[in-house]
């Protein structure tokens, strides 16, 4: 009867939504970590030029930069691809190798990686709110003994929230500029950026950059 009354008052809706968000976060984690991030396969070499020709970024890049063959897996690298020595593959539109998911973040799983960070941030903020609402501060040793685990949980949630928030904001900024973490950090070492007349030959404006990435 108490459960039915809580359901009628809508008190079960929020816990249900929270559990669904946690489940969605876990599913996104496994999806991003287990899927192909955009590995360049040897049979795709013949299609590399055609695929790059269809990309929106090539017209603004310098035309004298030639595709090079990877010295590790010997495939012809499309522009913006990079070899990951941990995955032992070249990855299209390589962003970075994430140790938390044990996988590269590249062309195929980068949008899902952003979705995972967004859902995870909502879960952490919600969990932090729940932990904070359960704290009633008192200056006594007995109170601290009873609430030590709740305090530790709250501080851990705060730390993870800050990390996820900074990571999400930095990725959204780079996406809005149509660049990757690898290109941003290693601009001076990348041939198609070093020889370009433009600071960022792939930038087409924030709206088109976001549209091209998410849509």
Using CB atoms within 10 A of its CB, is residue 167 exposed (0-12), middle (13-18) or buried (19+)? middle
SS3 letters across 22-36: HHHHHHHHHHHHHCC
Question: What amino acid positions are annotated as catalytic residues?
Answer: 98
Q: Supply the DSSP string of 60-129, one letter for each residue.
A: GS-TTPPP-B-TTT-PBPPTT-EEETTTTEEETT--EEETTTTEEE-TTTHHHHHHHHHHHHHHHHHHHH
The backbone region for 10, taken as left when phi is positive above 0, alpha when psi lies in -120 to 50, beta otherwise, is left
């Amino acid at each position: 009867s108490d459960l039915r009354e809580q359901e009628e008052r809508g008190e079960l809706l929020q816990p249900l939504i929270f559990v669904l968000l946690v489940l969605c976060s876990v599913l996104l984690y496994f999806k991003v970590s287990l899927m192909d991030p955009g590995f360049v396969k040897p049979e795709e070499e013949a299609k590399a030029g055609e695929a790059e020709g269809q990309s929106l970024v090539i017209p603004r890049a310098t035309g004298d930069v030639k595709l090079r063959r990877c010295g590790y897996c010997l495939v012809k690298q499309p522009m913006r691809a990079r070899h990951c020595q941990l995955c032992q593959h070249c990855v299209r539109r390589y962003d970075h190798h994430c140790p938390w998911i044990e996988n590269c973040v590249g062309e195929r799983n980068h949008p899902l990686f952003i979705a995972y960070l967004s859902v995870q941030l909502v879960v952490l903020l919600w969990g932090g709110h729940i932990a904070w609402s359960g704290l009633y501060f008192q200056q006594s040793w007995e109170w601290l003994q009873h609430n030590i685990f709740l305090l530790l949980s709250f501080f851990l949630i705060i730390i993870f929230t800050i990390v996820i928030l900074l990571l999400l904001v930095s990725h959204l900024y780079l996406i809005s500029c149509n660049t990757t973490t690898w290109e941003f950090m290693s601009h001076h070492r990348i041939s198609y950026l070093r020889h370009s007349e433009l600071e960022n030959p792939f930038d087409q404006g924030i709206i088109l950059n976001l549209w091209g990435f998410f849509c």
